[in-house]
Structure 1
Amino acid sequence: MLYRQIEQNKRKTVLLVLLFSVIVLGAGSAVGYLGFEDLRLGVIMAAIILVVYVPITYMSASSQVLRMSGASLANKETHKKLYHIVEDLCIAARIPMPKIYVINDPSPNAFATGIKPEKGAVAFTTGLLETLNREELEAVAAHEIGHIRNYDIRLMTISIALVSVVAILADIGSRMLFTQRRGNDKKTHPAVMIIALVFVLLSPLAARFVHLAVSRNREYLADATAVELTRNSLGLQNALRKISASSLDVRKAQNATASLYISNPFSKQRKKKNTSWFSTHPSLESRIERLSRM
């Protein structure tokens, strides 16, 4: 059951990434038609923005997230138990030891970052370290190690960049529609014009939905990986219950980084019982139900 769940989540992620690619190409084509009546020019424009924007986001994302969260390197002597837990899990996961950070925040939460295992980092709030017992802390650490091992951070970083690219293309398309086309007496096909306009207007929303779907899917996969590493689903179930029970927000969390945390850092979103298209994480009930079947 566990390995079937992992494979199913991986297949879903591939399909979502393909859908993301279609949205980016579609947005570029729509911009090309609205601005130049040439679909190819729009695709070329999208490719140029991708080549410039994605690498910048890719290379700087990890340092930005750690800086925004107020994370500081954990002291090996002060947090000896945490170091031992992460070290043991990395041996089981067969990845290099990531840097360990602590965030001075009473809300229990954690996240991982790093575009590849060799540059991985895990961060835990002081609230999490104080709230969870060793079994639960090990489960949370295993979840974050799972994100690193599965290259989830790389995928989510690229996903965030693609959302931004689609938003840029949509903005360019909207501006072109009301500027360059003025005085243009070339005939356009009404149906194609309407489709292009709808695509420009709705593509940012569609890209956001796909990004959040990828985020939720990777949370399920990291949960499954945590069970694989610890051979214990109860530890993670109990940890998620304790995290979700907190009424505190992670103080320096932002909407742009919310999907990175093990549970939504904003208490109002965290306590929602149902998973919606706008959810960064699956609902607590859904995650626990899946964990109980592993």
Structure 2
Amino acid sequence: MNVIRTAMLLAFMTALFMGVGYLIGGTGGMTIAFVIAAAMNLLSYWNGDKLVLRMYNAREVDERSAPEFYRIVQNLAARAGLPMPRVYIIDNPQPNAFATGRNPQNAAVAATTGLLHRLSPEEVAGVMAHELAHVQNRDTLTMTITATLAGAISMLANFALFFGGGRDNNNNPLGFIGILIAMIVAPLAAMLVQMAISRTREYAADRRGAEICGQPLWLASALSKIARSTRQIVNPDAERNPATAHMFIINPLSGQNMDNLFSTHPDTENRIAALQVMAREAGMSAPTSFNADEPGAFGPWGSRGARTRRGPWS
């Protein structure tokens, strides 16, 4: 299903890209747009993850530079039966996280410093389990391709004003109306694709992530904290790259917390309620806490030993 979904997404986004090109420059514009779309498809498949990580100045970490955070991801990946992904930290005070990569063998997970400083280790584990669920469900390829092409379509539509807004464009079959359509409808259509993908996959990743870490209420608590913080802390990088908003566990853009057609994520309260139902069905009345002396009993940490309360970010 994910292969079919990705193929349909590529076809739709390419057609949308070509449509914008036609509205801007007629047949010639459509041909140029097709060439650009083909190049973007290849780029997003092979290097989309690197582009997104570069947008947020993410730095890769390992067991030496961020031992506790790296160990959390490592043990969660082992519990999920996944290859160890590359691990990144983004210097940003807004708590958030995302996963990217074309397949589990080439996946990467990234968390902000805000997430690592504001959340408990248990909550961090819940968040990273959610991101690994995206990797396991192979959502990351679809997410990355959508981010790359949606951004390109919005950029192309913005160019429409300069190509046709100030003169009579004989190559544009619809004239100034075509320019307006390209500037308004195309970015909106690309945004709707993002929303449709994001809203359905978040519930599935929440559920699978809760199964991976073994504690639905850890993720529920994390979602509550992140949602409150994203309303208070602006993420300038995300504001500059809104086409990537659907990749994050919580929408990083300001004013995006309604559960309707124009939200890239389901309402956080609805997601928390679903996780609470999952916990009740499993007989969990309260979240358990981390205990280093009981390896494996309360989550993904499989090693015994002392631990400070600094958190998983070292």
TM-score (norm 2): 0.69
Matched, 1:139 2:126: yes
Correspondent of 2:15 among 21, 25, 32: 25
1:58-207 matches, cutoff 5 A: 58-77=45-64, 79-164=66-151, 166-167=153-154, 178-180=168-170, 200=182, 202-207=185-190
1:60 Cα deviation from its structure 2 partner? 3.1
1:215 Cα deviation from its structure 2 partner? 2.2
Correspondent of 1:214 among 188, 197, 201: 197
**What secondary structure is seen at the aligned counterpart in 2 of 1:64?**
helix
1:144 Cα deviation from its structure 2 partner? 1.0
1:248 Cα deviation from its structure 2 partner? 1.9
Q: Is the 8 A contact 1:166 1:207 kept in 2?
A: yes
* Corresponding residue number in structure 2 for 1:279: 263
Distance 1:78 1:45 in 2: 45
**What secondary structure is seen at the aligned counterpart in 2 of 1:206?**
helix
Correspondent of 1:233 among 216, 222, 235: 216
Correspondent of 2:234 among 214, 226, 249: 249
| Partner deviation per Cα, 1:42-63 (whole Å, 9 max, x = no partner) | 8766543322222123333222
1:120 Cα deviation from its structure 2 partner? 1.6
Q: Is the 8 A contact 2:63 2:71 kept in 1?
A: no
Q: Is the 8 A contact 1:95 1:149 kept in 2?
A: yes
Distance 2:13 2:154 in 1: 11
The residue type paired with residue 54 of structure 2 is R
Distance 1:132 1:66 in 2: 22
Distance 1:30 1:56 in 2: 20
Distance 1:35 1:82 in 2: 50
* Corresponding residue number in structure 1 for 2:274: 290
1:213 Cα deviation from its structure 2 partner? 2.1
**What secondary structure is seen at the aligned counterpart in 2 of 1:244?**
helix
| Partner deviation per Cα, 1:70-95 (whole Å, 9 max, x = no partner) | 32233524533322221121112222
Unmatched runs of 5 consecutive residues or more in structure 2? 279-314
Q: Is the 8 A contact 2:148 2:243 kept in 1?
A: no
Q: Is the 8 A contact 1:25 1:43 kept in 2?
A: no
Distance 2:67 2:214 in 1: 23
* Corresponding residue number in structure 2 for 1:263: 250
Change over 3 Å in CA distance of 1:250–1:47 after alignment to 2:
closer
Q: Is the 8 A contact 2:147 2:244 kept in 1?
A: no
Percent identity between matched residues is 35
Matched, 1:223 2:225: no
1:238 Cα deviation from its structure 2 partner? 0.6
Q: Which has the higher helix share?
A: 1
Change over 3 Å in CA distance of 1:34–1:133 after alignment to 2:
closer
Unmatched runs of 5 consecutive residues or more in structure 1? 1-6, 183-187
Distance 2:92 2:164 in 1: 46
Correspondent of 2:39 among 52, 55, 71: 52
| Partner deviation per Cα, 1:234-292 (whole Å, 9 max, x = no partner) | 111011111122222335434233222211224x335x3x2233322222112112223
Distance 1:84 1:250 in 2: 27
TM-score (norm 1): 0.74
Q: How many residues are matched? A: 270
